[in-house]
Structure 1
């Protein structure tokens, strides 16, 4: 049995904050290993990277998600009691609730709503000298997902809801003010969602059959309804990820700006929309890693994994692994015209099979909403990108963003007759 390479620092938490997305992949290169040991938040932690490591990580017999995520993330991004913290049968049952929402009919309805909100927003942008695209796309997605989910959202509540969801996402990888802003936003949003759940159960609110609010409010486990606080967490697990897609949209706009030849290519060739969207997702994972704990001790590649040890899987580095991806740091959408479809080498939203493992059940709709946004950016409007803004992206800030949040100006709608996905 061989020793696991070990980071020399007594605790690497500050190094992680300083280095951001490169923390795990840089050390894997340094140690020439897909595995190394470190200490984070004073806790022994094993870090894994690469396709083989992802296959290992998503073996449910070896790893559990219970008590794996740091409490800081529970208080900002995930909430307490939600599907991300469950394992085994409990996870499968709760995840099935989300999968039941993803019927083809329901997904088409979400895309229809999203297109309507995009076209409405474009019309309003023509009346403004410039807009911050991140804020505007978050608003479009917030309105779309709330309407689809059956959540009662008055027009004067849209900005408040958007701000809550955006703060949870932005604060998940931050410290200080960003973290505390996210915690306050989550607490307020959970109270709001719990009240909507109670209103459904008491008959004061009647959402559409099959809507997320109706399904979650009436979901039973062990013959009992979910506690309103847990139901609120799960409802936010529908709303928050949809608004998070705005970040992918901004990076898509950034790549279109950097490589303007893609405007015409995407406008003319619909078969290139999905490869472009996938390449955006590959390069711009929200977070650098996901966490689990060793369920029972086992050996891998001559190394011993002790029961209870926290393990981090490197999403960012696996998506850019040169053993899998040629020119991994370059933006090359064409690569996805020939991608093998592996469930373990492209893991922006987790790895494994959708129905069996912890892979995000909303991944498919993420791709479709991003594709719709690309059609909006290349076919439904024209705009200018001011040179005066700062479009640099810090590799340390988690989750990453262009510093200016991508400002556009002089928006002009393009007249089209076809609707829904044209």
Structure 2
């Protein structure tokens, strides 16, 4: 029987068991940067490398509609989110988000988060221990709510932070974490929809030009404003990814603990090094294991094919640890990004291609800006790292230091 016609074994159980290593393990067993497999009952082709990134974001071959599994929509993105759209519908919806990303707006969010961090640090010094991952989530939530124009009396920041983090933490794993994520999604969509409705009816006033106002007033067409629930989904798609930067904050602390020589350049306020450090944290540490799209035509890559209606998987973790692309991928070396900015199809923790026209996350600039700012503040903070479990398990998706990175004896700079 032709090798391309042989029945494929469904590898979903292996994915759940192996986590980030699932596709790299398959790639090692193949003859190149491509693997045929089956996932969630559908034939799939897994690819890697800058050229594969361009293939993955070619809407003539790959679309998002119908590709995101329902459990992911019900936890991470929300039903009807911009991530599920293609073509003109995607571009129109994305126009809601792109104005938020001009340099002044990004700087404004960074200032709000920095102020929330500085306020939090003053309380940390009075506590015997803090879990940095948890505290970062709260700081980021407080900062993004203030920036988005959400009235302080409309949300409980601590409860919202807990739910936003839960949505990310449980999207890829069956069991209790996934159930917590579903409950968090339902709870916050209900609360956020109520806030949107209050703005639309005039019961609340959203600050002019705020994110809250933009989402409440957005129309996909002149005749069709977003329904209240979809508007809530998209407002959460501003808040949730900002809270998710708590993963990178924990990873940045982990990097500074393992390689403390980087601390001095960050403390000194070297802006170029802070950017390079942020990029290297996003490359070196695992976040998204892979991305998936639905094939709208038969797709052939390096001699392997997947039919229309199958899946094309982009191996993000393997891409970021590819020897041919990075030279020394398992060495944490921010200097690799000092000489040049990473190409659009090289560093892809939040997708590849052009964020204005494709599916690359439009909030990537925000992530980098926040991580630059908070990495410098981390480097300037005095604290003790007690004995704890700092392992980062690759079977857990999304992963993080097991302990959440505990610190004691915090001393404000």
TM-score of the superposed pair, with normalisation by structure 2: 0.96
* Partner Cα distance (2:202, 2:285) in 1: 43
Instruction: State whether structure 2 residue 389 is matched by structure 1 residue 405.
Output: no
Corresponding residue for residue 263 of structure 1 = 263
**Which residues in structure 2 correspond to 1:49-60 (within 5 Å)?**
49-60=48-59
* Partner Cα distance (1:50, 1:207) in 2: 44
Query: What is the number of equivalent residue pairs in this alignment?
Result: 411
Corresponding residue for residue 240 of structure 1 = 240
Comparing 44-53 with 7-16, which one deviates more in the overlay? 7-16
Alpha carbons 1:35, 1:47 under 8 Å: kept: yes
Corresponding residue for residue 61 of structure 1 = 60
Alpha carbons 1:142, 1:243 under 8 Å: kept: yes
| Cα-to-partner distance string for 1:248-303 (whole Å, 9 max, x where unaligned) | 01000001000111111221233211111100000124220111011223443334
The Cα of 1:9 is off from its aligned counterpart by 6.7
Give the match's secondary structure for 1:312: strand
**Which residues in structure 2 correspond to 1:128-147 (within 5 Å)?**
128-147=127-146
**Which residues in structure 2 correspond to 1:266-285 (within 5 Å)?**
266-268=266-268, 269-285=270-286
Corresponding residue for residue 81 of structure 2 = 82
Instruction: State whether structure 2 residue 227 is matched by structure 1 residue 227.
Output: yes
The Cα of 1:32 is off from its aligned counterpart by 2.2
Corresponding residue for residue 347 of structure 1 = 348
* Partner Cα distance (1:184, 1:156) in 2: 17
* Partner Cα distance (2:119, 2:300) in 1: 56
Corresponding residue for residue 291 of structure 2 = 290
Corresponding residue for residue 331 of structure 2 = 330
* Partner Cα distance (1:376, 1:308) in 2: 47
Corresponding residue for residue 98 of structure 1 = 97
Corresponding residue for residue 378 of structure 2 = 377
* Partner Cα distance (2:309, 2:276) in 1: 39
The Cα of 1:340 is off from its aligned counterpart by 5.4
**Which residues in structure 2 correspond to 1:113-262 (within 5 Å)?**
113-154=112-153, 157-223=156-222, 224-262=224-262
* Partner Cα distance (1:281, 1:45) in 2: 26
* Partner Cα distance (2:253, 2:4) in 1: 40
* Partner Cα distance (1:345, 1:6) in 2: 33
| Structure 2 unaligned regions, length at least 5 | none
Instruction: State whether structure 2 residue 123 is matched by structure 1 residue 110.
Output: no
The Cα of 1:104 is off from its aligned counterpart by 2.6
The Cα of 1:105 is off from its aligned counterpart by 2.5
The Cα of 1:208 is off from its aligned counterpart by 1.4
| Cα-to-partner distance string for 1:190-241 (whole Å, 9 max, x where unaligned) | 0011011101100111111221110010001222210001001100100000
The Cα of 1:160 is off from its aligned counterpart by 0.9
Alpha carbons 2:272, 2:338 under 8 Å: kept: no
Give the match's secondary structure for 2:25: helix
* Partner Cα distance (1:199, 1:97) in 2: 20
Q: Structure 1 pair 237/14, CA: closer, same or farther in 2 (3 Å)?
A: same
Q: Structure 1 pair 151/280, CA: closer, same or farther in 2 (3 Å)?
A: same
Instruction: State whether structure 2 residue 382 is matched by structure 1 residue 362.
Output: no
* Partner Cα distance (2:194, 2:338) in 1: 46
Alpha carbons 1:391, 1:406 under 8 Å: kept: yes
Corresponding residue for residue 306 of structure 1 = 307
Q: Structure 1 pair 302/9, CA: closer, same or farther in 2 (3 Å)?
A: closer
Alpha carbons 2:116, 2:139 under 8 Å: kept: yes
* Partner Cα distance (1:7, 1:238) in 2: 44
Corresponding residue for residue 417 of structure 1 = none
Corresponding residue for residue 13 of structure 1 = 12
Corresponding residue for residue 318 of structure 2 = 317
* Partner Cα distance (2:150, 2:30) in 1: 50
Alpha carbons 1:25, 1:49 under 8 Å: kept: no
Q: Structure 1 pair 4/317, CA: closer, same or farther in 2 (3 Å)?
A: farther
| Structure 1 unaligned regions, length at least 5 | 415-422
Alpha carbons 1:101, 1:211 under 8 Å: kept: no
The Cα of 1:396 is off from its aligned counterpart by 0.5
* Partner Cα distance (1:172, 1:298) in 2: 28
* Partner Cα distance (2:363, 2:286) in 1: 15
* Partner Cα distance (2:328, 2:304) in 1: 31
